[in-house]
Structure formats: C-alpha cells, structure tokens
C-alpha cells in the first residue's frame, strides 16, 4: 500500500484544484511558514475519516472550506481524494488503485466515495481498519503524538497495539454483532 497522490479542491488554503503525485521513496514537502504544508497533511487526515475539527485545527468542520481572500471569493465546498496503490490488496477491493474521496458543503452536508461510488463514513473506517491507516491508525504521526502514546491510559495504548497487530477489526465486528 502506498499513497500515490492526492487531489485537493477548495480545502483550506487550496482554492485552486491541485493534484500532487508521490513517487516511490520519501517525499518531503517544503515551503515558507503559512504556505499550506500542514494543510496537506490535514487533507490526508480528513479523508481518512477525521471527525474532530480541532484535530484539523479548526472550530467546526466547515472551517476546512476555503474561506476566501481579498482577491478570491470563498468556496462552497471542499473536496479531497486520496489515490492509494492497492496492487498488494491491502484493501479487500479488486482494483489496483483505490480512490477515496471526501466532500463537505457549507451547509455541513458530507459525501464520501470509494472509487467514485458514494459510500458511508462507516465504509471508509472499515476499509482502513487494521491497515494502520485509518483515523486511529499510526500512519499519521502528528506533533505530540509520541508523548500522547507514552502517557495514555493502558486501554488506549492497547488499542494502538491491537491496530498494529491487525486484530481491531475482529473486536469491531464482535462489538457490532453484540449490538444487534
């Protein structure tokens, strides 16, 4: 599994539709303060299902929508697509490439898509579960995360290990089954 690219439209400072591709190896994003580097990692986190506006450095979810500048009108929506290499079938989907899209409108309405077909947030959480990617995965290590892991409660720490060991989906299914 590899993040091959990202398409951003109207998310935070990205008023223009942009498309970035990441080749094999390490990619570093550089730029002056305030140029939007962290907004790119926020965009990735957002598509992975982040539901906390605070984690995205905003007050409410609609704050991710480009809010305009002196020269440009605000946008009515934000849309981000992650392009993931699935040739190793990390995701149980029969395609070599998986595109996951999230869109939010000023009204607060959200849309989610997997390979351009509408889906639920729950479906996004489920495909990422145990891949180490999802919202609660360890693929995004933000500032302060290491400290948080070291000082977290043992139950929370256990969750991180369960995700790494690939067993959180079984716990999730058990809990789902017990609810029914």
Tell me how far, at minimum, the Cβ of 43 lies from Mg ion, in Å: 13
Each residue 15-44 as x (binds Mg ion by CB under 5 A) or -, in order, gives ----------------------xx------
Asked if residue 169 lies in contact with residue 130, where contact means CB atoms within 8 angstroms, the answer is: yes
152 is in an annotated binding site: no
* Residues 35-54 within binding reach of ligand ATP (CB under 6 A): 35-39
Asked if residue 125 lies in contact with residue 49, where contact means CB atoms within 8 angstroms, the answer is: yes
172-175 LR contacts (CB < 8 Å, sep 24+): 172/126, 172/129
Q: Does 154 bind ligand ATP (CB under 6 A)?
A: no
DSSP state of 56: T
Contacts of 160 (CB under 8 A, 6+ apart): 138, 149
Segment (H or E) for 82: strand 77-85
Please pick, from the candidates 5, 63, 119, 121, the single residue that binds ligand ATP as defined by CB under 6 A: 63
Tell me how far, at minimum, the Cβ of 128 lies from ligand ATP, in Å: 23
Nearer to ligand ATP, 26 or 59 (CB): 59
Tell me how far, at minimum, the Cβ of 32 lies from Mg ion, in Å: 10
């Amino acid at each position: 599994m590899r993040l091959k690219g990202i398409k951003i439209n109207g998310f935070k400072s990205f008023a223009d539709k942009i498309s970035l591709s990441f080749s094999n190896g390490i990619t570093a994003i550089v730029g002056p303060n305030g140029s939007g580097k962290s907004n790119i990692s926020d965009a990735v986190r957002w598509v992975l299902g982040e539901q906390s506006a605070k984690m995205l450095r905003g007050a409410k979810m609609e704050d991710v929508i480009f809010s305009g500048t002196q020269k440009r009108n605000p946008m009515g929506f934000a849309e981000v697509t992650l392009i993931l290499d699935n040739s190793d079938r990390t995701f149980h989907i029969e395609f070599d490439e998986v595109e996951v899209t999230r869109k939010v409108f000023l009204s607060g309405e959200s849309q989610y898509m997997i390979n351009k077909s509408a889906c639920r947030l729950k479906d996004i959480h489920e495909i990422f579960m145990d891949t180490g990617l999802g919202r609660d995965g360890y693929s995004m290590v933000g500032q302060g995360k290491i400290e948080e892991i070291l000082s977290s409660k043992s139950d929370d720490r256990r969750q991180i290990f369960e995700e790494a060991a690939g067993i959180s989906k079984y716990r999730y299914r058990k809990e789902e089954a017990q609810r029914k």
